[in-house]
Structure 1
Amino acid sequence: MNNFSISSLKQLPIVMTSMSRWDGDFSSASWSLAKTFSRDQVVLYVDYPFTLLDYFRERKKKAIRLRKPALLWGKNNLKPLPEYGTYLYALTPPLMLPINWLPEGMIYGFLARWNDRRLAKSIKKGLKRLKLEDFIFFNSFNPLYLSQLPKNFKPRVIVYQSRDNIRALEPYLRKHGAGNEIKAIRNADISLATSRQLQEDLQILSKKNVAYFPNAADFNLFKSAYETKLSLPDDLQNIPSPIIGYTGNICHRQDYDLIAYICASNPEISLVLVGPRNHQGHTHIDLDKIPNLYFTGPKGIEQLPQYLAHFDLLILPFLCNEVTRSIYPLKINEYLASGKPIVATPFSEDIRSFYPLIRLENDPESFALAIKQELESDNPDKAEKRYVEASKNTWEGRVALFWKLLDQTFSL
């Protein structure tokens, strides 16, 4: 590893890849980091690539239609986003070959390298249009692409960040992603993990040092739920109080038996889930038949404080399993910034570290009872303590931590 000063690295653009797109249905750590970095340096945020198969399946969806010239002809593929960050740009790569269905071997390896060269070429063209050449490559949990860089793709620094236990996720991701993640860590100058369990697991698997780099929150955005009187969102107008809320992806992480029990044992409350519904295949419960369970659909991150401000209590009803034991949930600090009481299952070491600021209960009966007790016992002093804790976990603080970790790495 070459020795560079941190001050010189802070002048370089950051090329960030992830499995999230800048205009996705819910907030992501990679997008939040990109926005924060871009206040002081150029950030090229690379959309998660669409494959040829994605294009034909989803060509009528808005995300594809907006990107069609870039996907098919490489036109208008670089989009400045000054409304999100002073020096922030989104890059739409061209269509990739759908190869994840292939078994590990020569054919998969050959086509994966072809995809990587195509993606790297697109990134280099984007940098050239900005009259930039040298860069930091920050792979924020996208091990399906560029886990091993093409020879002519030479960043000054290579960063890999893991944000989830890919070995416990759906078969599509772990099929090639699990092995590629270990390659990415071994090829990186510095590797980061967002949870203690993930850090420990990846160090054992890769036999390399992995730094702890937890998630945070856009405190300046979410504190408005605590500090300001925000208007009631239209889709909460006819929902009776008290309102229990959840924000985020509604997916494989949730305990749907617990959600159903909460609603059945607390018929006087309304449970509102804010986020995209991706629960199909993860529960046999017909959630739409639960009378006091409501869905708002996905909301932009800028809208979430308005919802948190009008929720009486917030929940994290996650399963306790191999997937969730490696999670430092992005939303915990968003929740805390609102000052509202929080009840969660004790799914990971990281979530347990927030006790006693939040209530932790494992079984449905205790969880449902905790909701009642926390609603009754909440007070301004408790709310302020939650708010203050969130103020310590900001993306600005995480960016400062990143440069500190990088400095330590280059000083070794």
Structure 2
Amino acid sequence: MNKPDVIVFSLPRSHESFSSTSLSLAKELSLSTRVFFINNPYTIKDLFLGRANTSIWSFLRNLVLPNRGPLTFDTDYPNLFISEAGVILPINHLSKGRLYNYFSRINNFLVNRVVRSVVNEYRLTDFLFINSFNPLFYYNSVPKGLKMSIYHCVDDITQSRYIAKHGSYLELEVLKKYDLVLTTSKKLTRYAATFSKNVKFLPNAANTDLFKRVLDNAIGTHSALDGIHGNVIGYIGNLDHRIDIDLLEFLVSGRGTDWTFLFVGPVGAEFRQSKLMKSSKVILTGPKPLNELPQYLKVMKCCIIPFLCNTLTASIYPLKLNEYLAGGKPVVSTNFSEDLVEFSEVISIASAKGEFYDMVVRELLEDGPDARQKRSIFASTNSWKSRADTFWSIIDNCHSIK
């Protein structure tokens, strides 16, 4: 049976400095059908403040010309096409009500024009439309000609710093109106099920083949890490408001005198304002391309997920967990989500600072070839290929297909 084409309208953009659930899933789906990934639009404000990777001339062109069409993402994914959604009006500062609704309709018109150009240019019919965590758009209607509308719920939107203001109530409309809702955590599944009758659990995964190369000794350590040896405690991902800064400061200050802390990813304001920035034990590399991450993981002796335990993180199924495990690395995590329970046989889960430290010590002492192999085998069941297979199974069995 031929699989339908897929349009993914995503909040995280394809060129972000971190790996996203929406793009990872889109890549895997594109191995069996055409996938059109449409980036979240920039606002005029983004444009003038230099936050957009486009120009004033691109903005002006978008006002008068139709979208020039998607571009092939890369040679590894010839069926994955990337399209920019143009530029929209900055309206997030407006209060809920008529004025916001008026300008929101304008923004939706601008975005839908891009989507329609993709549909028309590639003659899409009976396609799947996935709105990945972007309920600021397509909350009243969906593109014409589709086979199924799917909302991809990947975080607790009420805890999002930017889109919570309007997204928290618009998401409820989306949950009620879309044919299918896919969630990435158990807590999100329960939440979505109160508004939608068709909710399916599709957790995050990892490019396990890529990260398994660490265990197979198929790669070496990145040249930027030459000279770094010993007990390297590592974290890959955003150092943002999810991170327990107090825990990290506790680990860095005095304990584990021979430990080095390697952080690979974007550095947020909270981290920059902490004592960690002044520690000689801390190494910050900034964000790195996905295909280079195994070279950084290679040097890590124990990986950590030092998340705060709060409402936001309770809904998170972390991408990085399966990446760590695929590489055979020991993992110590805070007990932030019920989704960690299924990993309890292969990771250590701490409920207090002292316990976290003790678990890192234990993982360093007890790590060995058998434990590494066990972790990697466990992670192999959480590959993006496995998730794509589950996705198509859900679609095939869904009674809401039009």
Give the structure-1-normalised TM-score. Answer: 0.91
Find out whether 1:217 has 2:217 as its counterpart: no
The 10-residue stretch of structure 1 (257-266 or 120-129) with the greater mean CA deviation from structure 2: 120-129
User: Are the counterparts in 2 of residues 346 and 352 from structure 1 also a CA contact under 8 Å?
Assistant: no
Identity %: 34
- Sort the Cα spacing of 1:41 and 1:253 in 2 relative to 1 into closer, same or farther, 3 A: same
Alignment gaps of 5+ in structure 2: none
Of 65, 87, 93, which aligns to 1:101? 93
Find out whether 1:267 has 2:267 as its counterpart: no
Deviation at 1:238, TM superposition (A): 3.0
Of 85, 89, 104, which aligns to 2:81? 89
Alignment gaps of 5+ in structure 1: 1-6
- Sort the Cα spacing of 1:64 and 1:238 in 2 relative to 1 into closer, same or farther, 3 A: farther
- Sort the Cα spacing of 1:270 and 1:307 in 2 relative to 1 into closer, same or farther, 3 A: same
User: Paired residue for 1:192?
Assistant: 182
Greater per-residue strand proportion: 2
User: Paired residue for 1:115?
Assistant: 107
User: Paired residue for 2:379?
Assistant: 390
Find out whether 1:312 has 2:301 as its counterpart: yes
Q: Tell me the secondary structure at the aligned position of residue 410 of structure 1.
A: coil
User: Paired residue for 2:25?
Assistant: 33
Write out aligned runs for 1:209-358 (5 A).
209-264=198-253, 265-278=255-268, 280-281=269-270, 284-358=273-347
C-alpha offsets along residues 264-288 of structure 1, whole Å, 9 cap, x if unaligned? 212211011100112x147852321
User: Are the counterparts in 1 of residues 229 and 299 from structure 2 also a CA contact under 8 Å?
Assistant: no
User: Paired residue for 2:158?
Assistant: 167
Mapped to 1, the partners of 2:350 and 2:341 lie a distance apart of: 10
User: Paired residue for 1:3?
Assistant: none
Q: Tell me the secondary structure at the aligned position of residue 243 of structure 2.
A: coil
Of 162, 166, 189, which aligns to 1:176? 166
C-alpha offsets along residues 271-326 of structure 1, whole Å, 9 cap, x if unaligned? 11100112x14785232101101100000111111111221111000001101011
User: Paired residue for 2:13?
Assistant: 21
Give the structure-2-normalised TM-score. Answer: 0.94
Find out whether 1:53 has 2:45 as its counterpart: yes
Letter in 2 for 1:268: D
Q: Tell me the secondary structure at the aligned position of residue 112 of structure 2.
A: helix
User: Paired residue for 2:60?
Assistant: 72
Q: Tell me the secondary structure at the aligned position of residue 108 of structure 2.
A: helix
- Sort the Cα spacing of 1:41 and 1:95 in 2 relative to 1 into closer, same or farther, 3 A: same
Q: Tell me the secondary structure at the aligned position of residue 328 of structure 1.
A: coil
Mapped to 2, the partners of 1:179 and 1:381 lie a distance apart of: 49
User: Are the counterparts in 1 of residues 41 and 88 from structure 2 also a CA contact under 8 Å?
Assistant: yes
User: Are the counterparts in 2 of residues 71 and 92 from structure 1 also a CA contact under 8 Å?
Assistant: no
Mapped to 2, the partners of 1:378 and 1:146 lie a distance apart of: 49
Q: Tell me the secondary structure at the aligned position of residue 55 of structure 1.
A: helix
User: Are the counterparts in 1 of residues 239 and 271 from structure 2 also a CA contact under 8 Å?
Assistant: no
Deviation at 1:130, TM superposition (A): 2.7
Letter in 1 for 2:181: S
User: Are the counterparts in 2 of residues 72 and 95 from structure 1 also a CA contact under 8 Å?
Assistant: no
Deviation at 1:69, TM superposition (A): 5.5
Q: Tell me the secondary structure at the aligned position of residue 283 of structure 2.
A: strand
